[in-house]
Amino acid sequence: MKQQFYAYIQNLQDQICKGLEAVDGQAKFREDLWDRPEGGGGRTRVIENGAVFEKGGVNISAVHGKLPEAMQKMFNVGEADFFACGLSLVLHPKNPMVPTVHANWRYFEMYDDAGNIIQQWFGGGQDLTPYYLFGEDAIHFHQTCKTACDKHNLEFYPKYKKQCDSYFWNAHRLEARGIGGLFFDYCKANDTMSMQDWFNFVSEVGNSFLEAYVPIVEKRKNLPYTVENRTWQEIRRGRYVEFNLVHDKGTLFGLKTNGRIESILMSLPPHVQWVYDHHPESGSEEEKLIQVLENPVDWV
């Protein structure tokens, strides 16, 4: 399974980068190959200062070795060997009318002393963070997620949509980071789903990413915007940074386990503002967004 999934994310990284370069029309991804001293490595690809994307990354990694102490505590186990691989992406567009997007698909194995697999699971998801809310964009993104889920189990979309709303919640702000999508974790073999079934589901979601995001970018990338729109975008980006550094398990895990810092912090936007006690104008488009972030919506 690990070879199958790693081959899949290598190919998916190529597809997604090609699709995003076509949308941007100007910038190309810079590739950075790296090795992890403890075992494994990755292929980081970053796009910057494009016509559409101010900054973004589409990264893959496959790491293995002794389970770090932080992970031993997380999984309540002693010393063990592990393997983990995944693709993680974040894209911060220049135009405030285009939403930021995040996605991640990952696979994990843990072994006993004889090298037998004792635990294995998939995780992942994709979610949208707009700065100005276009209802039709939210519906399109969620409908694409639902279509991918429905091919495998009609219960998946409502379950993983709810988990996404719960996970990407900035508890210290009492608001969601964005308008959600899908979030699933610890997807293990059970009575109804084999690991191959889970692979088929996760790859279905991964394959749907460009379809979920690119039409929104194409529709919004040339819309006019003001300095005030841009300021609002940068203030909201501050909330994005807060979530990633305060709450996000993947970021915190990477920082605690000697992860590659450039790849971990790739998710942070280049231009951000923190304005003291900022509140949008009553009745404004900015306030409409906040109202939705405080009370997640069922879009489809």
Active site residues: 102
Structure-token pair, residue 126: 């994709």
For the chain, give percent helix, strand, coil, nearest 5: 45, 25, 30
- CA distances 86 to 3, 69, 165, 213, Å, are 12, 21, 22, 20
Query: What angle in degrees, to the nearest 10, is found between the helix axes of 195-207 and 2-24?
Result: 10
CA proximity to 158, closest of 1, 299, 28, 11: 299
CB-based contacts of 166-170 (< 8 A; 24+ apart in sequence): 168/127, 168/243, 169/247, 170/239, 170/242, 170/243, 170/246, 170/247
Q: CB of 23 within 8 A of CB of 52?
A: yes
DSSP-derived pairing of the beta strands 117-129 and 81-93:
unpaired
Whole-angstrom Cα distance, residue 103 to residue 178?
13
Which DSSP symbol is given to 176?
E
Measured distance CA(195)–CA(185) in Å, rounded: 13
Angle in degrees, 0-180, between the axes of helices 209-220 and 135-150, rounded to the nearest 10? 170
The answer to whether 250 touches 28, Cβ cutoff 8 Å, is no
